[in-house]
Amino acid sequence: MALRVERDKESGVALVTLDRPAKLNAIDLETAGELAALWGALRYDESVRAVVLTGSGTRAFCTGIDRGVTVPQPPSPYAVDDPLLRIGPKANDLWKPVVAAVEGMACGGAFYLLGEAEFVVASREATFFDPHTAYGMVSAYEAVAMAQRMPFGEVARMSLMGTAERVGAERAYAVGLVSEVTEPGGAVAAALRAATVIAGYPTEAVQGTVRAVWSAKEAARTQAMAHAPALIALGNLPPDRQAELFEGRGRAGDGPPRVR
């Protein structure tokens, strides 16, 4: 199993951990299936009233889809199959509050998860970036998800700068992506504290509030997401060219990415 789930029946909080630290908690097809199944199961688990989602280790929360995954595509220019579309709680109709706890990197497909959390707590050493353009890929679903949380210019800059630049935790806090910054190693504890408070309130009121907050932006998000498949089909380089760019990352002389 690529997920660890720890339920605290006393507090009503479940701690869900992406448990692939050797792969920087990247998501393969099995992990994607496990996430979808878990969110579906939590809809019926009355002992869980709030969730904290994190990644194993301190190097990364999640680095998106595992580059070793092969995703079969339908032979149609009008359809793109994306295995990450079903990995989030809202995509699986779970309206119990989810708090994300980020240590290390969160990039690319991680935004499918962060975009469907109620709020994000991050360690001071956390960084956020979107590598898509650097590897000849369109940032569509990721950019739309972040556009619900960050000012337009911040989303555009992060999506377009690719691997050259990362958003540090303090900057992420300043622009609203992160709601609390902790000392290194403290993100999960802070997220659990918040989730425990929320889980202590009447769950009907809490879930209704979650639904109300999401309804404020749902129409715009749905409309924007509908454009994503065509933009990806038109703008993505062929897989072999993407692989060449990915394999050439971090060449000598490139230097480390700037953190702002």
Dump pLDDT digits (tens) for 159-173: 999 999 999 999 999
Whole-number pLDDT of residue 255: 74
What is the model's pLDDT at position 254? 67
- Rounded to whole angstroms, the Cα distance separating 141 from 128 reads 16
| Domain ranges for the chain | 3-199
Binned at pLDDT 50, 70 and 90, residue 250 comes out as low
Strand partners, 123: 182
Quickly tell me which residue has 């951990």 as its tokens: 17
* Predicted structure pTM score: 0.92
Check pLDDT > 80 for residue 126: yes
For residue 58, what are the CA distances in angstroms to 146, 175, 190, 223?
Answer: 23, 23, 15, 36
CB atoms within 10 A of CB 251: 7
Measure the CA–CA gap between 150 and 143, rounded to whole angstroms: 10
CATH superfamily entry for domain 3-199:
2-enoyl-CoA Hydratase; Chain A, domain 1 (3.90.226.10)
Residue 64: name the closest of 139, 120, 14, 118 by CA. 139
pLDDT over 70 for what percent of the chain?
A: 97
pLDDT in tens, 171-217: 999 999 999 999 999 999 999 999 999 999 999 999 999 999 999 98
Q: For 136-152, what is each residue's pLDDT tens digit? A: 999 999 999 999 999 99
Contact 37, 75 (CB under 8 A): no
Higher pLDDT pick, 70 / 176: 176
Q: Which residue has the higher pLDDT, 231 or 200?
A: 200
Q: pLDDT tens digits for 7-29?
A: 999 999 999 999 999 999 999 99
**42: which residues sit within 8 A by CB, 6+ positions away?**
14, 48, 51, 89, 94, 96
Q: Cβ distance 75 to 121 under 8 Å?
A: no
Query: What b/e readout covers 8-37, taking b as 16+ CB neighbours within 10 angstroms?
Result: eeebbbbbbbbbbeebbbbbbeebbebbbe
Q: Output 236 or 51, whichever has higher pLDDT.
A: 51
Residue 245 has pLDDT above 80, yes or no: yes
Confidence of residue 53 (pLDDT cuts 50, 70, 90): very high
CB 111 within 8 A of CB 130: yes
- Whole-number pLDDT of residue 252: 47
Q: What region does 207 belong to: left with phi over 0, alpha with psi -120 to 50, or beta? A: alpha
**What's phi and psi for 14, nearest 5 deg?**
-110, 130
